[in-house]
Amino acid sequence: MSATEGQTIIRRLPVVLNTDEFEAKAAEMAAICLEIENLNEEKKATAADFKAKIDKKVSAHSELAVIVNSRSEYRDVDCYERLNPERKVMEIIRADTGEMVDTRGLTSRDIQDALGFMKVGEEEKDE
């Protein structure tokens, strides 16, 4: 025998599985397959959640871009109506600036009010 003869060495080589080993590996593989499916579903749900969050921020960004670009934004502003008998319209006036922002046609009620008529059944107010 030579000096190296009889020494044990380890090599990774194929070994045929017995029935118990095979069934254990098959069960492990099935469990991992289910875990992969669950992780993929979780990934989709998380991606959808992040997409919704991103879309919300993109929308807010777009709204702000319009405001910044125009240097103005829509807000509720107190207005009042003013009769313009020459043009036969009711003007909508901004209370803060006095600017006319809109007009509308006169209703029969507007005309009655302008002429000082009362509704049937209304009593004259003492002033």
Q: 43-52: per-residue pLDDT in tens?
A: 999 999 999 9
Same domain, 56 and 89: no
CA atoms within 13 A on the CB side of 25: 7
Alpha carbon distance 109, 88 (integer Å): 13
- Is residue 4 over pLDDT 70? no
Residue 6 in any domain: the answer is no
Domain carrying residue 60:
19-73
Same domain, 49 and 85: no
The whole-number pLDDT of residue 103 equals 94
The whole-number pLDDT of residue 88 equals 86
- Is residue 1 over pLDDT 90? no
Same domain, 66 and 83: no
Between 8-12, 58-62, 74-78, 83-87, the lowest mean confidence (pLDDT) is in 83-87
Total number of domains in the chain: 2
The whole-number pLDDT of residue 37 equals 97
Residue 122 in any domain: the answer is no
CA angle at residue 95 from 92 to 101, to 5 degrees?
35
Alpha carbon distance 13, 96 (integer Å): 89
Alpha carbon distance 49, 24 (integer Å): 37
Same domain, 69 and 31: yes
Same domain, 69 and 85: no
Q: What is the pTM of this model?
A: 0.50
Alpha carbon distance 38, 32 (integer Å): 10
Residue 54 in any domain: the answer is yes
- Is residue 42 over pLDDT 60? yes
Residue 103 in any domain: the answer is yes
Q: 64-120: per-residue pLDDT in tens?
A: 999 999 999 999 999 999 998 888 899 999 999 999 999 999 888 887 777 776 665
Same domain, 36 and 50: yes
